[in-house]
């Protein structure tokens, strides 16, 4: 493909090594998100964090290219090619640089996920390409209209600030215009709403079109004004439409995933349903059996157990509980998460009137119930040593009681934690 000047001396090539080094260092410093491992929607979404480098370096390379053309006064010569063709010849190596850096980011983010099941979200990859293109055109335009000492720093600063600043604003729809908010998706129990990538694609495409209008060569002052008015009008129309598209997404684009993909097995007294990505190459071999065995032991002790345990957050009945489970959980962590899931947990801001003045008794009762059920489900009394001392002592006292009374206390406590109208039973004294 034709370039504006020899590829061997193109700014994009000169930026290649620094870009790779910074991208790799950033990836190593961040590590791999455990909650997305094996889930391609989450892996690809989390790799959006690398657009801070891919987009910024694309903008920098394009600004340097435009500035080089400007200093050589190439654009003032009698045109043999349309201005946009000249711009593309200078732009594409920088776009290729940004794309390469993004690929490196994906390779780092996907560590431990290669070979896992599920679809690769191509809509996010397409959004990256449009974002990189947008930042490259931004850098090229700044390098074309500003002197060197302003255009190049402005390209880096504006590109970086647009990505980073919008990520921190409280008006969450604005975060999706830059695209970095996509990195907030998704654990295995969540999915990506189509509005999230669509918002950044729509706005970035409008930005590319606006810069293309500005880069079209004209001779008269009136035509320059008209081009500027067209570009501004385009952004003024598309920006509100993009914000409207993202109005309901919230700070993180992670609505609950449906249960269509769940793999369910009936082991013992309960049905266990996990997503295929959770069953792929897990640290706990045959997690459904581990979960079912723990529930069977509780059932034998007289503790009420759910009829269904699912990884989906969309529970449809009181006899179903949602389990937080990751592939890197060992058997003990899996069972502890199960006990926590069985014990009702109040969300932030959702406090029973009885706990309004002092929520400590409810929290303490929950800790004791979880600790006691873990021992009953695993037979590992030594696990109490790792608990908070007061809760461990109370759980030990409970476990010393007769089977019927300890099961009754656990059942009454679990019911009271889930129903604000019920009183909390007194915690056994050590």
296 has pLDDT over 90: yes
Confidence of residue 69 (pLDDT cuts 50, 70, 90): confident
The pLDDT tens digits for 302-353 are 999 999 999 888 776 778 889 989 888 889 999 999 999 998 876 555 677 7
CB < 8 Å & 24+ apart, contacts of 407-411: 407/301, 407/302, 407/303, 408/302, 410/303, 410/369, 410/372, 410/373, 411/302, 411/303, 411/304
What is the chain's mean pLDDT, rounded? 87
282 has pLDDT over 80: no
pLDDT confidence of residue 96: 95
Q: What does the pLDDT average to over 198-218? A: 89
pLDDT confidence of residue 78: 45
Q: Are 152 and 143 in contact (CB under 8 A)?
A: yes
Closest of 123, 273, 104, 294 to residue 188, by C-alpha: 273
If DSSP codes are grouped into helix, strand and coil, which group holds residue 268?
A: coil
201 has pLDDT over 90: yes
194 has pLDDT over 90: yes
Closest of 282, 257, 314, 285 to residue 37, by C-alpha: 282
- Burial degree of 344 (CB within 10 A; 0-12, 13-18, 19+): middle
Confidence of residue 164 (pLDDT cuts 50, 70, 90): confident
Q: What does the pLDDT average to over 230-242? A: 92
Q: DSSP letters of 157-172?
A: HHHHHHHHHHHH-S-H
195 has pLDDT over 60: yes
| Beta-carbon count within 10 A of 214 CB | 17
pLDDT confidence of residue 355: 66
If DSSP codes are grouped into helix, strand and coil, which group holds residue 425?
A: coil
3-state helix, strand, coil in the chain (%, to 5): 65, 5, 35
Q: What does the pLDDT average to over 211-229? A: 78
pLDDT confidence of residue 72: 57
Strand partners, 321: 309
Residue 395 φ/ψ region, left for φ over 0, alpha for ψ in the -120 to 50 degree band, beta for the rest: alpha
Report pTM: 0.86
Q: CB neighbours of 284 closer than 8 A, spacing ≥ 6? A: 290, 329, 330, 331, 334
If DSSP codes are grouped into helix, strand and coil, which group holds residue 201?
A: helix
Q: What does the pLDDT average to over 390-404? A: 86
Q: Cα–Cα distance between 427 and 430 in angstroms, integer?
A: 9
The pLDDT tens digits for 119-155 are 999 999 999 999 999 999 999 999 888 888 888 899 9
| DSSP code, position 422 | S
If DSSP codes are grouped into helix, strand and coil, which group holds residue 275?
A: coil
Q: DSSP letters of 52-81?
A: HHHHHHHHHHHHHHHHHHHHTTGGGSPPSS
Cα dihedral sign, 62-65-71-76: negative
pLDDT confidence of residue 19: 96
Q: What does the pLDDT average to over 185-192? A: 90
238 has pLDDT over 90: yes
The pLDDT tens digits for 76-123 are 554 556 777 777 888 899 999 999 999 999 999 999 888 888 899 999
Of the ranges 40-49, 89-98, 374-383, 399-408, which one carries the lowest mean pLDDT score? 399-408
pLDDT confidence of residue 196: 94
Q: Cα–Cα distance between 125 and 29 in angstroms, integer?
A: 23
418 has pLDDT over 70: yes
If DSSP codes are grouped into helix, strand and coil, which group holds residue 48?
A: helix
Confidence of residue 34 (pLDDT cuts 50, 70, 90): confident
Of the ranges 229-238, 284-293, 364-373, which one carries the lowest mean pLDDT score? 284-293
Strand partners, 320: 308
Q: Cα–Cα distance between 273 and 296 in angstroms, integer?
A: 16
Q: What does the pLDDT average to over 367-378? A: 92
Q: CB neighbours of 170 closer than 8 A, spacing ≥ 6? A: none
pLDDT confidence of residue 11: 84
Q: What does the pLDDT average to over 231-246? A: 93
Q: Cα–Cα distance between 115 and 120 in angstroms, integer?
A: 12
């Amino acid at each position: 493909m034709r370039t504006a000047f020899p590829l061997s001396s193109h700014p994009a090539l000169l930026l290649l090594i620094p870009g790779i080094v910074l991208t790799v260092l950033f990836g190593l410093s961040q590590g791999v998100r455990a909650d997305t491992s094996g889930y391609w929607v989450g892996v690809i979404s989390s790799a959006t964090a690398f657009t801070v480098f891919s987009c910024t370096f694309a903008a920098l390379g394009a600004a340097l290219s435009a500035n080089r053309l400007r200093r050589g006064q190439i654009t003032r010569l009698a045109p043999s090619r349309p201005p946009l063709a000249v711009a593309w010849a200078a732009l594409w190596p920088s776009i290729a640089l940004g794309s390469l850096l993004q690929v490196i980011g994906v390779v780092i983010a996907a560590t431990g996920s290669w070979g896992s099941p599920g679809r690769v979200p191509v809509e996010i990859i397409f959004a990256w390409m449009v974002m990189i293109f947008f930042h490259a055109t931004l850098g090229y335009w700044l390098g074309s209209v500003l002197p060197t000492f302003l255009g190049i720093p402005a390209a880096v600063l504006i590109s970086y600030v647009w990505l980073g600043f919008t990520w921190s604003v409280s008006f969450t729809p604005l975060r999706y215009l830059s695209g970095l908010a996509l990195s907030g998706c998704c654990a295995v129990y969540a999915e990506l709403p189509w509005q999230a990538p669509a918002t950044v694609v729509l706005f970035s495409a409008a930005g590319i079109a606006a810069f293309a209008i500005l880069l079209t060569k004209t001779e008269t002052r009136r035509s320059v004004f008209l081009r500027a008015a067209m570009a501004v009008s385009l952004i003024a129309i598309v920006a509100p439409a993009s914000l409207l598209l993202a109005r309901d997404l919230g700070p993180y684009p992670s609505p609950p995933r449906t249960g269509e993909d769940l793999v369910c097995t009936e082991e013992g007294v309960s049905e266990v349903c996990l997503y295929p990505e959770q069953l792929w190459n897990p640290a706990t071999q045959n997690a459904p059996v581990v979960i079912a065995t723990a529930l069977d032991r509780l059932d034998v002790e007289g503790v009420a157990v759910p009829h269904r345990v699912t990884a989906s957050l969309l529970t449809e009945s009181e006899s179903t509980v949602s389990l937080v489970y990751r592939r890197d959980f060992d058997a003990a962590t899996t069972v502890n998460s199960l006990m926590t899931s069985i014990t009702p947990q109040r969300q932030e801001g959702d406090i029973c009137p009885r706990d309004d003045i002092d929520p400590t008794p409810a929290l303490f009762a929950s800790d004791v119930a979880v600790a006691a059920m873990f021992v009953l489900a695993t037979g590992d009394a030594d696990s109490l040593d790792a608990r908070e001392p007061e809760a461990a002592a109370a759980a030990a006292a409970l476990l010393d009681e007769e089977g019927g009374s300890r099961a009754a206390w656990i059942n009454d406590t679990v019911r009271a934690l889930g129903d604000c109208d019920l009183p909390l039973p007194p915690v056994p004294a050590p």
